[in-house]
């Protein structure tokens, strides 16, 4: 039995009040996680139905690790537990937004950084040369 | 010829200064777009190599529309052009973050709203009843 109802039409999906996630062919929705205090984008990950259900029930972020192919209680080993302050879903319900407070040392990225988005790509016509794009800058 | 180099190893991918996006089986990376002024999450979309290249060159957001299967210059018809203030890439380079200013009426969602994330999912054990999850709240 599915954990979530399926929206019967576009109106229900976009304007309804039932959480009806549209899981992709791999059974996943995209999850965007931001810092509840600063608004900074911390990470982009994925959830299957069980990860989404556990996140809702426990108020802590659970993901589906695509590399390890297993449920992933973020912070269970590192102490970087993510307490969900607010969860939102987007118009066509294939993406979830978590605003979180991070416990432990406040880190999120497996490289040890606070956010996974620590490199900036220069923009503009100059950004692309014959030999490729101008180098990323560490933020 | 590919528009972007491929990272030769994990070190280059995560700590290098070359933009080496890891496109998925469909040739796409995930793109998270936030409001540069407020930090609000506006939308989650996808980019193929050409959309990413055009975004870098023009400083305006181009996506790949999975439903229409075509390049999508956001705002070309609606006037809601997204000017990129900053572009970042994540640790394993399968996600891009755009901080944008939105032109026109400032909208982003096809439903007419500013953000696609206009519904909030209640949390906690009470959020799930025998009959399903507590209804979404419009934010």
- pLDDT value, residue A30: 98
Q: In the numeric block, which tokens belong to residue B137? A: 């709240």
pTM of the model: 0.94
Q: Is the CB of A119 less than 8 angstroms away from the CB of B95?
A: no
- pLDDT value, residue A125: 76
- pLDDT value, residue A28: 97
Q: Is the CB of B117 less than 8 angstroms away from the CB of A90?
A: yes
Pairwise CA distance, residues B93 & B103, whole Å: 28
Q: Which residue has the higher pLDDT, A1 or B63?
A: B63
Which of B8, B11, B39, B56 is the best residue to mutate to test the A interface, defined by the most A CB atoms within 10 Å of its own CB?
Answer: B56
- Contact (CB, 8 A) for A19 and A89: yes
- pLDDT value, residue B102: 97
**What band does A1 get if pLDDT is binned at 50, 70 and 90?**
very low
A19-64 pLDDT, tens digit each:
999 999 999 999 999 999 999 999 999 999 999 999 999 999 999 9
| Residue in A89, A118, A133 closest to B19 by CB | A133
**What band does B134 get if pLDDT is binned at 50, 70 and 90?**
confident
- pLDDT value, residue B125: 75
- pLDDT value, residue B83: 98
Q: Is the ipTM of this complex over 0.85?
A: yes
Nearest-CA distance B57 → chain A (Å): 4
User: A29 to chain B: nearest residue by CA?
Assistant: B44
Q: Rounded to an integer, what is the distance from CA A48 to the centroid of its chain?
A: 12
- pLDDT value, residue A33: 98
Q: Is the CB of B89 less than 8 angstroms away from the CB of A121?
A: yes
B51-81 pLDDT, tens digit each:
999 999 999 999 999 999 999 999 999 999 9
Mind spelling out the 3-state secondary structure of chain B? CCCCCCCCCHHHHHHCCCCCCCCCCCCCEEEEEEECCCCCEEEEEEECHHHHHHHHHHCECEEEECCCCEEEECCCCCCCCEEEEEEEECCCCCEEEEEEEECCCCCCCCCCCCCCCCEEECCCHHHEECCEECCCEEC
- pLDDT value, residue B132: 60
**What band does A129 get if pLDDT is binned at 50, 70 and 90?**
low
- pLDDT value, residue B1: 45
């Amino acid at each position: 039995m599915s954990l979530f109802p399926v929206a019967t039409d576009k109106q229900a999906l976009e304007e309804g009040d039932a959480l009806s996630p549209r899981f992709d062919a791999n059974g996943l929705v995209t999850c965007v996680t931001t810092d509840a205090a600063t608004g900074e984008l911390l990470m982009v990950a994925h959830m299957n139905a069980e990860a989404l259900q556990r996140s809702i029930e426990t108020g802590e972020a659970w993901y589906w690790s695509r590399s390890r192919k297993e449920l992933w209680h973020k912070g269970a080993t590192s102490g970087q537990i993510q307490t969900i302050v607010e969860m939102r879903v987007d118009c066509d319900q294939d993406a979830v937004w978590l605003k979180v407070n991070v416990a432990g040392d406040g880190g999120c990225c497996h490289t040890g950084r606070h956010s996974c988005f620590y490199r900036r790509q220069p923009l503009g016509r100059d950004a692309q040369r014959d030999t490729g794009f101008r180098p990323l800058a560490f933020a």
